[in-house]
Structure 1
Amino acid sequence: MTAPTAGQDVRSDIADISAVLVRYATGIDRRDWKLLRTCFTDACEADYGDIGRWLDADALTAYMEHAHARCGHLMHRVTNTEVTLDGDTATARSYCDAFVLGPDNDDGMQASGRFDDDLVRTDQGWKITRRRYTLALLRPVRNSARLLGGSGGSGDSHEPR
Structure 2
Amino acid sequence: MDPGDEAVRALVARAEIEQVVLKYCRGVDRQDWNLVRSCYHADAVDNHGSFIGGPDSLVEWMQSRHASIDVCVHFVGNVLIDVHGDEAAVESYYMAYQELAPGGVAVKALTRDRETLEESATTGLQLRMLGRYVDWFERRDEVGWRIAHRQVVIESGHLESLIGQQDWNLFQRGDRTPNDHYKALQQRLRTARGVRQQLGASHEVQPQSGLPHA
Q: TM-score range by the shorter chain?
A: 0.7 to 0.9
Residue identity opposite 1:70 in structure 2: S
Counterpart position of 2:30: 30
Which structure 2 residue ranges, 5 or more long, are not aligned? 103-122, 175-214
**Aligned-residue CA RMSD (Å):** 2.4
Question: What's the secondary structure of 2:169's corresponding residue?
Answer: coil
The alpha-carbon distance between structure 1 residues 19 and 147, as it changes in their structure 2 partners (threshold 3 A), is: same
Structure with more helix by fraction = 2
User: Alpha-carbon deviation of 1:53?
Assistant: 1.2
Q: What's 1:90 paired with?
A: 88
Match for 1:52: what amino acid?
F
Determine the structure 2 residue equivalent to 1:9: 9
For residue 114 of structure 1, what is the aligned residue in structure 2? 132
What is the TM-score with the length of structure 2 in the denominator?
0.63
Please say if residues 40 and 147 of structure 2, whose CA atoms lie closer than 8 Å, have aligned partners that are also in contact: yes
Question: Retained in 1: the 8 A contact 2:51–2:58?
Answer: no
TM-score between the two structures when normalised by the length of structure 1: 0.83
1:68 corresponds to which letter in structure 2? H
Counterpart in 2 of 1:155? 173
Contact 1:143 1:152 in 2 (8 A): no
Moved over 6 A (4+): none
Where does the alignment leave 5 or more consecutive residues of structure 1 unmatched? 157-161
Shift of 1:149: 4.0
Q: Does the Cα contact within 8 Å between 2:138 and 2:146 map onto a contact in 1? A: yes
Distance (whole Å) between structure 2 residues aligned to residue 152 and residue 83 of structure 1: 40
The structure whose Rg is larger is: 2
What is the percentage of aligned positions where both structures have the same residue?
Answer: 23
- Give, as a single letter, the amino acid of the residue that structure 2 aligns with 1:113: G
Query: Helix, strand or coil for the counterpart of 2:69?
Result: coil
- CA positional deviation for 1:151: 2.4
Amino acid at match of 1:36: V
Determine which structure has the larger strand proportion and give its number.
1
* Amino acid across the alignment from 2:6: A
